[in-house]
Amino acid sequence: MIKILPSKWKMALRVIPFLIAVAAAKYLAYVYGWEFLQMNGIFAALISATIFLFGFNLSGVLSDFKAGEKLPGELAANIEAISDECVYVYKKTKKPAAKEAFDYCLDFTNSVLNWLYRRLKTRDLLQKINSFTNVFLLLEEDSQASYVSRLKHEQSEIRRAVMRMHAIREVRFSEAAYAIAELMSFSLIGALIFLKFDSPSIGFFCTLFVAFIFIYLLFLIRDLDDPFAYYDRKNSVEEISLHSLEDLRQRLEARREKLV
């Protein structure tokens, strides 16, 4: 069922089991007379404080999410710039070394995609970035010094982008902030279950509505905290697009066929 739904509704569907549990608990509290709490102004203050915490957490994870959005495109541009130089040298000299260097760019693009899907370790990808130095040695004799210097700059930018993506993927925003938001959310939901309303229907609506919003936001913040979770298709919804890298792979494969 999750696969056939639009991605924007997948997270909402994930909240439904929790809402069923909350609804069952509220029903039991109503039937057995466990609604011993009375409505007062403190509930509104606690809900406002919880929403403030959600806003704090969202602002933190969104900053990394927005920063990460441009990294795949920049990485693709750096790789393609190196491959363009390889094509230039090959068309100029027809030396096999230039074609081998171009093939390495394609192989490295595949390695980046495998790394994003956790099929390759970060240290192995960094080693492949270092190996670009050997590629540049192959091109140095047939390229101008300024071109090689520019390629070294592209190599440095690739390393910088990979390290930034690694930090965004592995470092969580703030576990302490998550903990207090989760504690306040579930405490308020629990309080609403035992809160006596003037009408049972209003009580069910308010309790389920607040529970949906809070639990949904908890899932959303956790999901946004790792925008490169392509390896977790079952649970991850919000991901940064990899179209720039996938399109680059297709372009490089097409250009390789034309290198004769």
Place of tokens 């068309």: 91
In 59-79, which positions are buried (b, 16+ CB within 10 angstroms) versus exposed (e)? ebbeebbeebeebbbebbebb
Q: Which two tokens stand for residue 33?
A: 């007379």
pTM over 0.75: yes
Q: Which two tokens stand for residue 69?
A: 């959005």
Predicted confidence pLDDT, tens digits, the chain (260 residues): 444 445 667 788 889 999 999 999 999 999 998 988 888 888 888 888 888 888 888 888 888 888 888 999 999 999 999 999 888 888 888 888 888 889 999 999 999 999 999 999 999 999 999 999 988 887 777 666 667 788 899 999 999 999 999 988 888 777 788 888 899 999 999 999 999 988 889 999 999 999 999 999 998 888 888 888 877 666 666 778 899 999 999 999 999 888 76
